[in-house]
């Protein structure tokens, strides 16, 4: 027995040494996670926390709007109720810093799945780390404290399960069970689960087309059907499809991420090109799950650029697995100690950029959101006319103040959002737009702020470098 332990010890040491470079590759995502955690910029995050708090307090999911005076009592369907509750739980423990750390953990989970898939494909840790580093500037704007983080994790996890299914490392029945359970969890965290159903269906179709993989294809088709049924395990049931279409219709033309793919935008173009390179590699290597996921994500990206990060993240493991030329591999093997030192030095510098963010975890972006002195100055119960971005922040900080607008486009509809935002720019009939409002909170440099400056019917209540509060005189 002692001799067996002695034999196993070198094997464990060897495994640890082999895993160490992959750990460094994964740590490339840490500065990105810290940068996102150090500053919250997304307006959705704040009203989602408040919604989760209301859900926990009332032990029921709100079915009508409780936060605004312009849509008060109107029907409202949440597409991420469970994610809102999770955010609220973190907020209850340690406020916004806990929310930021939770989402940073999700970002690290995304990086872990990318690195693991790259390793499964036979990639090199340096390639995986380099792929994550190059993609970081393209992805960082999408990696905000939002339920979309769940989508990125779910798609990568789905590809991982399908990859193991097609390579015979997991029993088909087990894979179907796991995928079905994933769908139920996913749909309640975020209603984008239909993306996963589409990927499963595409994978099933590709497998059935090939005779030697046809049996696996039928298993995958069963997983598709069960995942679609699992998607109904949400408060809306099969109304999920109409809900998704409603969100799209209310956001297209208003929210940037719902716009079609714009090849004239360099960031979008680079993400799409890298995704297409990944798709070519997947086809060449006959990695059916990757082909299915990349095809669905690419088609979705053309319609709405919000799927570009999904396309890029699925492509990264394939890009990281590209074999280096023989001469380069031989040179790297002969300079392992030097490379290890260089990579460690690079990681230390990369982390030094982001570590200062730990001094202000969960800070609302000071270039977007006003100071506490502004929100505290809003009179209690005052019907507030506000800009699109500031609505979510007020909902969290001052739940006693009903807002005119926030980023729940599916609740307000395109017409109201466009009308109110035009008024913030100082356009249109301002008296009509402000009818019923008792306070106004808008960006300091907005057209409406300039218009109210000389209006005797409004008195400046407070101001800082970002926003100004007016109270009806």
> Does residue 185 fall inside a structural domain?
yes
Q: What is the largest CA-CA distance in the chain?
A: 91
* Domain final residue, candidates 298, 326, 356: 356
Considering the domain architecture, whether residues 213 and 328 belong to the same structural domain is answered as yes
Q: Which residues, 6+ apart, have CB-to-CB distance to 294 below 8 Å?
A: 275, 278, 279, 282, 311, 314, 315
Domain count, the chain: 2
Considering the domain architecture, whether residues 121 and 204 belong to the same structural domain is answered as yes
Contact in structure between 76 and 51 (CB atoms under 8 Å): no
Considering the domain architecture, whether residues 182 and 210 belong to the same structural domain is answered as yes
Considering the domain architecture, whether residues 331 and 399 belong to the same structural domain is answered as no
Considering the domain architecture, whether residues 376 and 328 belong to the same structural domain is answered as no
> Does residue 443 fall inside a structural domain?
yes
Considering the domain architecture, whether residues 449 and 323 belong to the same structural domain is answered as no
- Here the tokens at position 286 are 């006959």
> Does residue 367 fall inside a structural domain?
no
> Does residue 362 fall inside a structural domain?
no
* Domain final residue, candidates 314, 329, 356: 356
Considering the domain architecture, whether residues 396 and 436 belong to the same structural domain is answered as yes
Considering the domain architecture, whether residues 300 and 428 belong to the same structural domain is answered as no
Q: Which domain range does residue 396 map to?
A: 372-472
The string of DSSP letters for 401-414 reads S-BS--S-HHHHHH
* Domain final residue, candidates 325, 356, 387: 356
Considering the domain architecture, whether residues 403 and 348 belong to the same structural domain is answered as no
> Does residue 439 fall inside a structural domain?
yes
> Does residue 171 fall inside a structural domain?
yes
Considering the domain architecture, whether residues 254 and 395 belong to the same structural domain is answered as no
> Does residue 348 fall inside a structural domain?
yes
Count of CA atoms in the C-beta half-sphere (13 A) of 442: 26
Q: Is 438 left (phi over 0), alpha (psi -120 to 50) or beta?
A: alpha
Q: What is the pLDDT along the chain (473 residues), one digit of tens a residue?
A: 555 454 455 555 555 556 788 998 999 999 999 999 999 999 999 999 999 999 999 999 999 999 999 999 999 999 999 999 999 999 999 999 999 999 999 999 999 999 999 999 999 898 999 999 999 999 999 999 999 999 999 999 999 999 999 999 999 999 999 999 999 999 999 999 999 999 999 999 999 999 999 999 999 999 999 999 999 999 988 888 888 878 888 888 788 899 999 999 999 999 999 999 999 999 999 999 999 999 999 999 999 999 999 999 999 999 999 986 666 566 666 777 777 777 778 778 878 888 888 899 999 999 999 999 999 999 999 999 999 999 999 999 999 999 999 999 999 999 999 999 999 999 999 999 999 999 999 999 999 999 999 999 999 999 999 999 999 98
pTM of model > 0.85: yes
Considering the domain architecture, whether residues 264 and 316 belong to the same structural domain is answered as yes
Contact in structure between 391 and 375 (CB atoms under 8 Å): no
Considering the domain architecture, whether residues 413 and 464 belong to the same structural domain is answered as yes
> Does residue 447 fall inside a structural domain?
yes
């Amino acid at each position: 027995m002692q001799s067996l332990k002695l034999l196993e010890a070198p094997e464990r040491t060897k495994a640890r040494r082999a895993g160490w470079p992959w750990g460094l590759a994964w740590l490339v995502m840490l500065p990105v996670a810290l940068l996102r955690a150090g500053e919250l910029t997304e307006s959705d995050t704040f009203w989602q926390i408040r919604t989760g708090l209301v859900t926990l307090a009332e032990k029921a999911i709100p079915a009508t709007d409780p936060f605004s005076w312009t849509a008060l009592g109107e029907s409202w369907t949440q597409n991420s109720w469970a994610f809102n509750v999770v955010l609220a739980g973190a907020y209850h423990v340690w406020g916004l810093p806990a929310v930021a750390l939770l989402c940073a953990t999700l970002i690290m989970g995304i990086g872990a799945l990318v690195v693991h898939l790259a390793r499964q494909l036979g990639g090199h840790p340096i390639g995986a780390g380099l792929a994550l580093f190059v993609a970081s500037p393209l992805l960082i704007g999408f990696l905000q404290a939002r339920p979309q983080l769940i989508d990125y994790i779910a798609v990568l996890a789905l590809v991982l399960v399908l990859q193991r299914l097609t390579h015979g490392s997991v029993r088909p029945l087990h894979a179907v069970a796991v995928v079905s359970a994933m769908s139920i969890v996913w749909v309640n965290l975020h209603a984008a689960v239909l993306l996963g159903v589409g990927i499963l269906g595409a994978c099933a179709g590709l497998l059935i087309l090939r005779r030697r993989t046809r049996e696996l294809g039928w298993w995958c088709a069963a997983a598709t059907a069960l995942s679609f049924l699992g998607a109904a395990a949400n408060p809306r049931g099969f109304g999920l499809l109409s809900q998704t279409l409603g969100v799209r219709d209310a956001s297209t033309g208003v929210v940037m991420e719902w716009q079609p793919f714009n090849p004239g935008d360099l960031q979008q173009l680079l993400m799409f090109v890298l995704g297409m390179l990944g798709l070519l590699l997947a086809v060449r290597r006959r990695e059916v799950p990757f082909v299915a996921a990349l095809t669905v994500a690419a088609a979705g990206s053309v319609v709405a650029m919000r799927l570009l990060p999904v396309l890029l993240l699925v492509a990264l493991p394939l890009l990281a697995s590209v074999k280096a030329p023989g001469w380069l591999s031989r040179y790297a093997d002969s300079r392992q100690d030097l490379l290890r030192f260089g990579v460690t030095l690079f990681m230390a510098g990369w982390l030094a950029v982001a570590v200062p963010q730990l001094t202000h975890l969960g800070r609302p972006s000071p270039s977007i959101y006003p100071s506490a002195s502004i929100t505290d100055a809003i009179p209690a119960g005052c019907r507030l006319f506000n800009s699109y971005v500031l609505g979510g922040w007020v909902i969290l900080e001052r739940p006693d103040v009903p807002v005119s607008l926030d980023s729940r486009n599916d609740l307000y509809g395109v017409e109201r959002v466009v009308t109110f935002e035009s008024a913030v720019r100082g356009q249109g009939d301002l008296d009509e737009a402000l009818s019923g409002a008792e306070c106004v909170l808008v960006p300091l440099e907005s057209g409406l702020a300039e218009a109210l400056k000389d209006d005797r019917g409004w008195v400046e209540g407070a101001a800082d470098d970002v926003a100004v509060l007016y109270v009806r005189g």
